[in-house]
Amino acid sequence: MHSASLIPLVFSAAVMAAQVPNVAPNDLVRKVISNEIRVDEQDHSHWMYQIVSNVPEPETSRTVVETSHGDINYTEEIDHRPLSPEQRSAEDEKVKKFVDDPDLQRKARESNAEDDKKSEEMFAILPDAFLFQYAGTDGDNQKLTFTPNPDFTSHSSEAYVFHKMDGFVIVNTKQNRLVEISGKLTHGVAFAGGLFGHLDPGGTFDVRRDEIAPGYWAITKLQVNMNGKILFFKTIAEHQDETHSHFQRVPDNTTLAQAEVMARKQIIAVAAGSR
């Protein structure tokens, strides 16, 4: 699984020069990404947390409980209101079907594994796909801006889109962890001359991460705003705005049936206003 302010301080040139790490910007990013991939491969922890989705409207909140067999996703509220009896019944049926259906669980695990593989591949190309420059520090956080590396050749549609972006990353130099990555599509992208879709210039994405427990980091904010007719990440829509919070670690041997009970208890706590 996967704090200090993310707003960089303004420094004079002399102070900035004194605080720039004694390592090339791309080498620092390479070190951070290598550590992220290593930690992710070794981390088998499971968590319960809340996701609030603002896009598409209306706002929806749900409880997620992770297990080695799959994740329970239980809707809590829609538009700040508890589910109606009919909605709750449908949600109960959906979750129960997942708990009782090994085929659904297998498909979910395969989908998650594919997403994890794509995420790792995207992480891995960062130090080669972009040219980084130091842009300021805030405590243990170092900001670096990036622009496409003209010598990089993409080998997938995801990397092709990614490589068309300018943006910045913020890394925690004490733990070598990625705090934030933000990009803007500077040029339009057409696939096969537009035959297989396109993305318009100006699209943005922003992913923010926090340390949710000592040594454990997770996505806490995800925003995507792309205009076009193609999805460049399998599970990221062209327009998405999510906040992840209220992380609680759950036992690694938690079953789906136990996770369902945990989620139901959390729904009751939310309804009672005692999360």
**Tens of pLDDT along 179-218?**
999 999 887 666 555 555 657 778 888 999 999 999 999 9
pLDDT at 209 (0 to 100): 95
Domain ranges within the chain, ordered by starting residue: 13-271
Contacts made by residues 5-11, CB under 8 angstroms, sequence distance 24+ = 5/138, 6/138, 6/141, 6/170, 6/179, 6/180, 6/208, 7/138, 8/135, 8/136, 8/137, 8/138, 8/141, 8/143, 8/170, 9/136, 9/137, 9/138, 10/136, 11/136, 11/137
pLDDT at 39 (0 to 100): 94
Predicted TM-score (pTM) of this structure: 0.82
**Residue 5, Cβ neighbours under 10 Å: how many?**
9
pLDDT at 16 (0 to 100): 41
E strands along 38-164, which residues? Answer: 46-55, 60-67, 70-78, 81-82, 130-138, 141-148
Rg for the chain, CA atoms, rounded: 20
pLDDT at 14 (0 to 100): 38
Q: What is the pLDDT of residues 238-249, one digit of tens each?
A: 788 999 999 999
* DSSP state for residue 146 in the 8-state scheme: E
Q: Is the pLDDT of residue 93 over 50?
A: yes
Residue 51 token pair: 């996701």
Q: Which residue has the higher pLDDT, 245 or 273?
A: 245
Pair 177, 32: CB distance under 8 Å: yes
Q: What are phi and psi of 206, to 5 degrees?
A: -150, 125
**Residue 22, Cβ neighbours under 10 Å: how many?**
5
**Residues forming a β-bridge with 172:** 141, 177
Give residues with Cβ within 8 angstroms of 82, minimum separation 6. Answer: 76, 88, 271
